[in-house]
Amino acid sequence: MTDMWAAPAASGPVRATVAVPGSKSITNRALVLAALADGPSTLRDPLRSRDTELMAGALRALGTGITDGADGSWHVVPGPLRGPAAVDCGLAGTVMRFVPPVAALAAGDVDFDGDPRARERPLGTVLDAVRSLGADITGSALPFTVRGTGRVAGGTVTIDASASSQFVSGLLLSGACFEAGVHVVHEGSPVPSLPHIDMTVSMLRTAGVRVDDHGPRSWRVHPGPVAGVDTAVEPDLSNATPFLAAAAATSGTVTVPGWPSSTTQAGDAFRGILTEFGAQVRLTGDGLTVRGAEALRPVDVDLHDVGELAPTAAALAALARGRSRLRGIAHLRGHETDRLAALQHELGAMGAQVEQTADGLLIDGGELTPSTWHSYADHRMATAGAILGLAVPGVLVEDIGTTAKTIPDFPGMWSAMLEAA
């Protein structure tokens, strides 16, 4: 049986300062760019979690030198990309979507596989796109094989990226190494999580790559060298949100140091969401401080660009008296799990009234009762259960260890936060 974690209940308002590890999104993009660069790179304060270790392992398998610095940094020395190689994607969307275009530049076969749930995730869009740019790929979902020839012609490709912004980012990251670069055109419903594409574009430009992004449906990366960089990885703002939500859920105060004054991270949007719930939010040179109100207010929020924040927002909505509406997140049905169905089932088991809409959830919160909260091998579902456990004594979270996907020791950090109070 999967281990059950007794989510600790808060005995009073949480009052703590919580230092959050580096951004997964930045770390994995930086690793890919460093592997494609024309010189060495250094990543300072990178996230060390399952997803980033899988990315590092994938790039090492393709011939990239990645070594540990004494200060916890990663030193990356690009090498000739080659196969044969085997890539374990685990359940990391960035690995299964960012690495195939890199593998197409390798000389030799590269086999991809991952966790059982990963075999259900949509990959046809990115694999078909890489094929149309000149690569030879066998399969349309995990497991699949990229038969690299050491070159990719590149050019223009039209895709439907309405299921994931990672389809776009994965093509852009390698595009400068394609002979004709890459011009990605999106056709379909609006691309979700656009801040993640903005992050990709910003990091490409920092590495000296010329990128044209004149609208939300077209991105062009020009061919040319990728420069090695020495970069400091920001704290992961999305991983910070459960700790900030703890302040809102308990009428407490939590500070996350190092919160950037300007960032492309989607998690920064949580500041506005917390304000909607009634919390006070203050950003200073010391970090971001959230002070919870006496009672949570129900919200009506569009999370289309920040769908990763939906489980955290849903947990707070279930604790607020009244009806909340979370909109713009139909694409979450294709994430680590069907997050909308999972949230409806788990919140319903605790007594909340939850209805799925075409693009989100209606949540009638208030009085909740403890239950077993299932994580579905989804790190953000697991942290949502921890938030609810603060206010509902007796919640058991199944497979809390899945949080190691992006947070190396979430249970330890959660306990330390409560002990600080």
- Ordered per-residue pLDDT tens for the chain, 421 residues: 468 999 999 999 999 999 999 999 999 999 999 999 999 999 999 999 999 999 999 999 999 999 999 999 999 999 999 999 999 999 999 999 999 999 999 999 999 999 998 998 879 999 999 999 999 999 999 999 999 999 999 999 999 999 899 999 999 999 999 999 999 999 999 989 899 999 999 999 999 999 999 877 999 999 999 999 999 999 999 999 999 999 999 999 999 999 999 999 999 999 999 999 999 999 999 899 999 999 999 999 999 999 999 999 999 999 999 999 999 999 899 766 899 999 999 999 999 999 999 999 999 998 999 999 999 999 999 999 999 999 999 999 999 999 999 999 999 999 999 998 6
Q: Parallel, antiparallel, or unpaired: how do β-strands 322-327 and 300-302 relate?
A: parallel
- Residue 297: half-sphere exposure toward Cβ, Cα within 13 Å: 13
Backbone φ and ψ of 150, nearest 5°: 90, 0
Q: Say how many residues make up the chain.
A: 421
Quote the pTM value.
0.89
pLDDT digits (tens, 9 = 90+) for 281-317: 999 998 999 999 999 999 999 999 999 999 999 999 9
| Fold adopted by 24-232 | UDP-n-acetylglucosamine1-carboxyvinyl-transferase; Chain (3.65.10)
Annotated binding site: 24-25, 29, 93, 121, 164-166, 193, 308, 335, 339, 380, 405
**Domain spans of the chain?**
4-21+235-420, 24-232
Kind and range of the H or E run holding 155:
strand 155-159
* Sign of the dihedral defined by the CA atoms of residues 221, 261, 325, 245, in that order: positive
Both tokens of 168, joined, read 């776009």
367 noted as active-site residue: no
Among 120, 187, 294, 308, which one carries the catalytic annotation? 308
Q: Which CATH superfamily includes the segment(s) 4-21+235-420?
A: Enolpyruvate transferase domain (3.65.10.10)
Backbone φ and ψ of 338, nearest 5°: -75, 95
Calpha distance 165→287 (Å, rounded)? 29
At position 279, the amino acid (one-letter code) is A
State CA 163 to chain mean position distance.
14
Contact between residue 306 and residue 313 where contact means Cβ atoms under 8 Å apart: no
**Which residue, among 369, 368, 371, 367, has the nearest Cα to 396 in the 3D structure?**
371
**Which residue, among 80, 37, 28, has the nearest Cα to 58 in the 3D structure?**
28
Contact between residue 172 and residue 199 where contact means Cβ atoms under 8 Å apart: no
Annotate 342-364 with b (16+ C-beta within 10 A) or e (fewer): bbbebbebbbbebeeeebbbbbb
**Which residue, among 251, 295, 252, 247, has the nearest Cα to 271 in the 3D structure?**
247
4-21+235-420 shares its CATH topology with 24-232 = yes
Calpha distance 33→45 (Å, rounded)? 17
Residue 53 CA: distances (Å) to CA of 28, 65, 80, 136, 304: 9, 13, 21, 27, 28
First to last CA, the chain: 33
**Which residue, among 22, 379, 421, has the nearest Cα to 247 in the 3D structure?**
421
